[in-house]
C-alpha cells in the first residue's frame, strides 16, 4: 500500500556515514519502533477504509465482503455467507370480497374510488416465508466460544443494513 514506510531503510539512509555503527542503527530503530507500529495500524485502517468505500450492494461483492469480515467466527473454515433473493408469488387479481362483481373487484382502481380494507386472496402455497422478504442472508454455523450468536447476528445485520438498498427487507438464517 502507498502508506507503508520502511523505517529500517529510512534510518539507514538518514544516519550520517561518520556516525554509522551497528549499535547506533539498532538504537535508532528501537526509538522509532512505536512509529512503525502506528504506521502499520494506519496501513491496515487505510486498506479497510478503501474496501468499505468501494462496497456496493451487488450480491457477489457483498458476499465477498461479508465472508472476509466474518470468516474468523465460522465453525468450519470452508463455510460461506450466501445471499439468496426472496420469491415473489405475483400480483393477486381479486380481493376477498367475492360478492362484488368482477369489474369492481379488480386490484387496479381509480383514486376517486378510495381504498378498500380487504385482504388479498392467495393460493394456499403462495404465502410462504420466501415471499415475506426481499432476500435472505444464510450464515454457516459459528463458533460460540469466540462470539455469541446474538452478538454475531447483530454485527451481521449492522453491515447488511449499511449496504442494502433502501426499502428491501431481509432475514438472517443460520445453516445447521
Q: Does the pLDDT of residue 125 top 90, yes or no?
A: no
Per residue in 37-73, pLDDT tens?
999 999 999 998 998 888 888 888 889 999 998 988 9
Sorted by where each begins, the domain ranges of the chain are 1-54, 56-87+128-176, 90-126
Residue 83 near residue 57 (C-beta atoms within 8 A): no
Write down the pLDDT at residue 133: 80
How far apart (Å, rounded) are the C-alpha atoms in residues 117 and 37? Answer: 64
CATH number of 56-87+128-176: 3.30.300
Which grid cell sits at 86?
Answer: 426472496
Q: What is the mean pLDDT of the chain?
A: 79
Measured CA angle at 65 (ends 76, 141), to 5 deg: 25
Write down the pLDDT at residue 139: 92
pLDDT band at 92 (very low <50, low <70, confident <90, very high): low
Write down the pTM of the prediction: 0.62
Amino acid at each position: 500500500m502507498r502508506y507503508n514506510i520502511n523505517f529500517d531503510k529510512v534510518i539507514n539512509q538518514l544516519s550520517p556515514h561518520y556516525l554509522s555503527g551497528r549499535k547506533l542503527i539498532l538504537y535508532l530503530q528501537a526509538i522509532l519502533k512505536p512509529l512503525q507500529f502506528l504506521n502499520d495500524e494506519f496501513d491496515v485502517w487505510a486498506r479497510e477504509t478503501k474496501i468499505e468505500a468501494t462496497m456496493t450492494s451487488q450480491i457477489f461483492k457483498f458476499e465477498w465482503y461479508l465472508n472476509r469480515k466474518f470468516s474468523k467466527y465460522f465453525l468450519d473454515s470452508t463455510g460461506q455467507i450466501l445471499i439468496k433473493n426472496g420469491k415473489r408469488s405475483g400480483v393477486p387479481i381479486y380481493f376477498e370480497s367475492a360478492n362484488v362483481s368482477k369489474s369492481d373487484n379488480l386490484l387496479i382502481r381509480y383514486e376517486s374510488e378510495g381504498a378498500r380494507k380487504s385482504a388479498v386472496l392467495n393460493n394456499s402455497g403462495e404465502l410462504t416465508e420466501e415471499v415475506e422478504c426481499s432476500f435472505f442472508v444464510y450464515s454457516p454455523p459459528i463458533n460460540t466460544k469466540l462470539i455469541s450468536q446474538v452478538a454475531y447476528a447483530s454485527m451481521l445485520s449492522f453491515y447488511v443494513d449499511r449496504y442494502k438498498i433502501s426499502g428491501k427487507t431481509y432475514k438472517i438464517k443460520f445453516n445447521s
